[in-house]
Structure formats: structure tokens, C-alpha cells
Amino acid sequence: MTEFDGTEVAKHNTNEDCWVVINGKIWDVSEFLRDHPGGASVIAAYSGRDATDAYNEIHDPELVIATLPAAKCLGEIRSGTLPESQQKLAALSTTAAVSAIAQYPPLWSVVNVAGFEKVAKRYLSPTGWAYYAGGAEDEVSLMDTGRLFRMITFRPRILRRVEPVSTAVKILGFPSSLPIYISPTGSGRYAYPNAESVLARAAGKEGVVYCMPTTAAHESVFEARSSPDQPLFFQLYTTRKQTKALAMIKKLKALGAGALFLTVDSPVLSRRERDEQAKVTETPGVSSGDLKWIQQATSMPLILKGVQTVEDAVLAYDHGIQGIVLSNHGGRSLDTAQAPIITLLEIRKHAPHLLAAGIRDKFQVFIDGGFRRGTDVLKALALGASAVGIGRPFLYSMTAGYGEAGAVRLLQMFRAEIETNMALAGATAIEELVPEMVNSERAESEMSRRIKL
């Protein structure tokens, strides 16, 4: 029997197109609605949702089978994919249930990343929310990034001409309309069906780069490009046997991938307790120390994702790698690992040559983890990063049935925040964002004093 995710069921939530879940089976009751002896509104209250409890309270489990044509049973609900908000309204009377059903908030009412996160928390299944929102162990690294962004303040310059503002940058030689890109985030299916293709399409519309995760590196994502020139990167774990990895690199290069992000911060599977409770399973990413075979296998730029110290940043540069992502995997790997912005400050202090404008055509420093505002992005750029990766917010932006429109709206929100705040800081181009525009001294006081290069 065909299986459907809760997100798919949720889309059929009107009187004209009404699906309900009864005892694990999905029924199309659009036509039956008006014939229901108890009235249409009783069923309509559960459209796009799980009606099991309410149904079982009154009906024999076999009644639906006897009443509806077999073709109206469309399939089964995939376990763990029904958001809480789509489940269990039986404890309420029908009238209360009808009023308790919140419609998905209209997209225009979501005005910032925090808004998308709120919607995602409400409409994702418990499993999906645990997987997306969680971090390792006590989630200290996960939560720490926001604190550091707040510790870094702007030193805006005044009475400058601040129009027009250009947010364009080059990422590994590819043009991007914004100094941000979409980070690889495992499986997007809890948020929206074919989430990776949806993100590729949204990225194409807004002229930014999407880096797809290993698990979703398929033809279909490339087919979603708005033009063959649209840059798409892919991420690889080196768990894969060498032969498999090489075959994948070759295939993705042929499909038109522009760069390879090799994730190096997860040599073993980390301890994510929310996932354990919600029974999410994920393949560990094991990194091997030897990168020569990958460097030799491809002419694509090779980027190390998950560099967490200035020492390793220097090693990467010295080994001819084309770029690094300062990242602690969004707080999902080693808990209490330092925030990536601290690693950026370490590089500023001990190896500033890695951030020099003059070397950006052969080496770029990217950063990700906890960037939720245009101002967060601008601080990292002023301190020398070439671009910023954004992970979870894109997953959140596709929930509640928003899909591509949500991801496009999120990019437009970042665009508006970056443009406005650049002008307020006194910059009209990304190159004009210089270290003197921020005061990062409080954050610098948290840097290790034991660094020896």
C-alpha cells in the first residue's frame, strides 16, 4: 500500500479536497462529506488530520470500509510523520474541535526566522522537530552562537552615500546575489516532500547557491535548477568506501555540481538525545585523515566543512584545499565545542593571511551555525568570512505546507535584512564591510590563549 507523509495529508484540508486518517489508513472523503449523516462539519473538522479517535468513539472500525468505495482508501500514513497539531482532537467536543483547529498561518504573517521556527515547532511531527531542532547532549554549542552574536556590536559609519546597496558576492567563483548559501541538512522530508528539489528551485529563483547533502545528491535535484548555469554544490561524508565516494564524485561532476564540501567534523556519530527519544536514525560520517585521493579524483573545488580551530584552518590552506567552513555542525557533533565565530576570530588574530581579499580566488573561509539575522551575517563578513551557511531556517521555512514559497520568502527576508543593515552600518558593497565596523573585543576575550602555530 502507498505510504504518505503527514505533510502530504495536511495539504488536503478543504471541503473540496478532504483527506482524513482513520486507524492508520488515509481516506479521501471529499465526495462523502456532504452525505455524512452527522453533517459535513464533523468530518471537515478533521480534514488533513488524524480522525481516528473521534471516529472510533462513535463508529465500528469496519464501517468506513463498508461505506466508502475501496478506491477512496489512498494508502497508509508513514509512521512518525503526523505533526501533533494534526493528531488527536477527540478529547474535545466537535464544536470545540472545530474552533481548536488552527489553520496554517498565512505566509505573509511570518516575518522573520524566529517566526518560521515557531510555525515549524507547531506543525512538524515530534520526530521531525527532534531531528531538526536538536543538538548534541546538553545542546550547549547549539545555544551558544546567539550569545556570541549579541556580544559583537556594530560601529556604524555615518553620513555616507548608502544607495544603491549591492549584496552580490562570488562563492568559489560562482556569482551569488547574497552573501549566504543554503547548508546541507540531511533529510528534508519531514518539512516538505522532495525538500531538496524545492530548495534547489528556491535558490535558483533568488540567485543563491544550494549545497545538497550526501543523502539527497540525486539527478532530480539538478533537474530542479532554473537554468543549467545555476550553481549547485554537494556535501560528502567520507564514511563511504573510497570506490563508492569516487563514483559519486564522478556522477555529480557529470550532473554539473560546482564544488564538493567534505564534512570533517563528525568522525563518529554524536550523541543526540532528542533523536534517541524520537527514534531518528542517521548514518555516521567518518572522516579519514587522508584527502589526497579525493583531491586527485576531481578538479572541482574541495572545501572542508567543519574546521574548528585556526591550526586546522592553516593546515587546510597549506594542503591546497580551496576553502573551509568554520562549523561545529550546528551544535550537533561535539557538544561544548567552541562557536565558529570564535574560530573566525582566532584566524583573524593568528593567521589573517587566510582572510585577505587577495587570496579569495584560491581560498575562501565560510562559516555556519546559528545565523538567524542579517546582522549576524554582516558581523561574520566584517570579520573576514566570504559567505555564511544557513541550515535549520530553510527546513523550517518549508513546513506548514509552505514549500518553495516559504524558502523563497526566507531568502527575501535575509535579503531585506542584509540590505537595510548594510546601509545603516555605512556600507554599499560587501567589500566595504571591514573589521573596524564591529566591536568584537568582548568575544575575543573568550579566545584560547594556548594557540601556538
Ligand X SMILES: Cc1cc2nc3c(=O)[nH]c(=O)nc-3n(C[C@H](O)[C@H](O)[C@H](O)COP(=O)(O)O)c2cc1C
* Residues found near ligand X in the complex (CB under 6 A): 131-132, 183-186, 213-214, 235, 263, 305, 327, 329-330, 332, 368-371, 389-392
Residue 361 annotated in active site: no
Phi, psi for residue 85 in degrees, rounded to 5: -70, -15
| Strands (DSSP E) found in 201-348 | 209-212, 232-237, 259-263, 302-307, 323-326
Interacting residues of 229 by C-beta distance below 8 A, sequence separation 6+ = none
270-285: burial string, b at 16+ Cβ within 10 Å, e else: bebebbeebebeeeeb
* Identity of the amino acid at 415: R
Shortest reach from residue 187's CB to ligand X, in Å: 7
Q: Which of 132, 190, 237, 396 is catalytic?
A: 237
Q: Which of 5, 50, 144, 265 is catalytic?
A: 265
Q: Which of 46, 329, 335, 368 is catalytic?
A: 329
Beta carbons of 77 and 22 less than 8 angstroms apart: no
* 3-state secondary structure at position 223: helix
HSE-up of residue 380 (Cα within 13 Å, Cβ side): 34
Shortest reach from residue 272's CB to ligand X, in Å: 10
Q: Which is nearer to ligand X, 213 or 406 (CB)?
A: 213
Q: Which is nearer to ligand X, 371 or 402 (CB)?
A: 371
Burial of residue 420 (CB within 10 Å: 0-12, 13-18, 19+) is middle
**Of 289, 141, 300, which is closest to residue 217 (Cα–Cα)?**
300
Residue 36 annotated in active site: no
Q: Find cell 520526530 and name the residue.
A: 127
* 3-state secondary structure at position 412: helix
346 φψ region: left (φ > 0), alpha (ψ -120 to 50), beta (else): alpha
Q: Which is nearer to ligand X, 104 or 396 (CB)?
A: 396
- Alpha helices of 235-335 — where are they, by DSSP H? 242-255, 273-278, 292-297, 310-318
Q: Which is nearer to ligand X, 45 or 390 (CB)?
A: 390
Shortest reach from residue 282's CB to ligand X, in Å: 8
Shortest reach from residue 241's CB to ligand X, in Å: 18
Instruction: Quickly count helices (H) and strands (E) in the chain.
Output: 19, 17
* 3-state secondary structure at position 18: strand
Shortest reach from residue 389's CB to ligand X, in Å: 6
Residue 46 annotated in active site: no
Shortest reach from residue 299's CB to ligand X, in Å: 22
Q: Which is nearer to ligand X, 391 or 403 (CB)?
A: 391
Q: Which is nearer to ligand X, 20 or 152 (CB)?
A: 152
Q: Which residues are catalytic?
A: 237, 265, 329
